[in-house]
């Protein structure tokens, strides 16, 4: 059975740099026979976590907020790997990506954790050429903490500097790394 991969795009720019790298991951994965689905977070209705903590009660399943995150919960349950692609906004992941990450709380803790043993990868794009002052290091570090908390394995981190939408295409090295990440994820089952 082929590996299933979900790519989650956290930039509002559909043809932006992180989305371009996401497409390259998909290209590599599909070439190796994986099933790939890409979700554009900015185009779906996902509200921020309201901190009701109902999801942490033993008797409660899922999240009280009735929105399109529930579609993502069932997709994420089904896949082997999840790739999160985000631009750096104010020294960390975009708001769209952060809202999505916070909502993982409902299905990412204890007995209800659907992410334990799943493969994760991150894609980042940012304008500042310095990995530290751009905020990219912050985002990578946050991602490490998120995956540790979820019990997920980090299988790749692909990141590069670009400003205008699609400018990342000029960066051959990072584009190739994204294809290789896709090929790698295609070999992984949960
Ligand atoms: C609101 C906003 C905040 C940004 N903050 C940062 C930042 O903190 N560090 C940085 O290096 N680039 C920053 N950028 C630049 C983007 O990260 C960069 O253009 C990136 O390649 C955009 O990726 P995208 O095309 O996938 O949206 C910011 C851009 C915007 C619009």
Instruction: Give 81-141 as a DSSP string.
Output: EEEEEEEEETTEE-HHHHHHHHGGGGGSSGGG-S-TT-EEEEEEEESSSSTTTTSHHHHHH
Residue nearest to atom 23 of ligand 1 (CA): 87
Question: If you average pLDDT over residues 41-66, what whole number do you get?
Answer: 96
Question: Does residue 172 lie within any of the structural domains?
Answer: yes
CATH number of the domain residue 178 falls in: 3.40.50.360
Question: Does residue 190 lie within any of the structural domains?
Answer: no
CA of 93 to the centre of ligand 1 (A): 9
Q: Which pLDDT belongs to residue 67? A: 98
Q: Which pLDDT belongs to residue 118? A: 97
Ligand 1 neighbour 92 (Cβ under 6 A): no
Question: Does residue 125 lie within any of the structural domains?
Answer: yes
Q: Which pLDDT belongs to residue 1? A: 87
Residue from 7, 96, 127, 174 to probe ligand 1 pocket by mutation (most atoms less than 8 Å from CB): 127
Contact call for residues 79 and 5 (beta carbons, < 8 A)? yes
Question: If you average pLDDT over residues 32-38, what whole number do you get?
Answer: 98
Q: Is the pTM of this model over 0.85?
A: yes
CA of 19 to the centre of ligand 1 (A): 13
Q: What is the average pLDDT score of the chain?
A: 97
Question: Does residue 31 lie within any of the structural domains?
Answer: yes
Question: If you average pLDDT over residues 76-99, what whole number do you get?
Answer: 98
Total domains in the fold of the chain: 1
Q: Which pLDDT belongs to residue 40? A: 98
Instruction: Give the model confidence (pLDDT) of 164-183 as tens digits.
Output: 999 999 999 999 999 999 99
Residue from 17, 126, 159, 162 to probe ligand 1 pocket by mutation (most atoms less than 8 Å from CB): 126
Question: Does residue 127 lie within any of the structural domains?
Answer: yes
CA of 163 to the centre of ligand 1 (A): 7
Q: How confident is the model at residue 15 (pLDDT cuts 50, 70, 90)?
A: very high
Instruction: Give the model confidence (pLDDT) of 105-125 as tens digits.
Output: 999 999 899 999 999 999 999
Q: Which helix (H) or strand (E) holds 145?
A: helix 136-150
Q: Which domain holds residue 35?
A: 4-185
| Res. 190: pLDDT tops 90 | no
Ligand 1 neighbour 162 (Cβ under 6 A): yes
């Amino acid at each position: 059975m082929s590996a299933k991969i979900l790519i989650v795009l956290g930039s509002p720019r559909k043809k932006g740099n992180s989305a371009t790298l996401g497409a390259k991951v998909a290209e590599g994965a599909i070439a190796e026979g994986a099933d790939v689905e890409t979700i554009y977070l900015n185009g779906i209705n996902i509200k921020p976590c309201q901190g009701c903590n109902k999801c942490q009660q033993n008797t409660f399943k899922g999240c009280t907020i009735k929105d399109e995150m529930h579609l993502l919960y069932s997709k994420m349950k089904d896949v082997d790997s999840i790739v999160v692609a985000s631009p750096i906004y104010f020294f960390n992941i975009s708001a769209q990506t952060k809202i999505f990450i916070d909502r993982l709380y409902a299905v990412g803790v204890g007995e209800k954790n659907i992410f334990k043993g799943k493969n994760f990868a991150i894609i980042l794009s940012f304008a500042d050429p310095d990995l530290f002052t751009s905020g990219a290091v912050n985002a990578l570090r946050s991602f490490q903490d998120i995956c540790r908390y979820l019990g997920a394995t980090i299988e790749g981190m692909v990141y590069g500097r670009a400003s205008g939408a699609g400018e990342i295409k000029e960066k051959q090295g990072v584009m190739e790394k994204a294809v290789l990440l896709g090929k790698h994820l295609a070999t992984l089952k949960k």
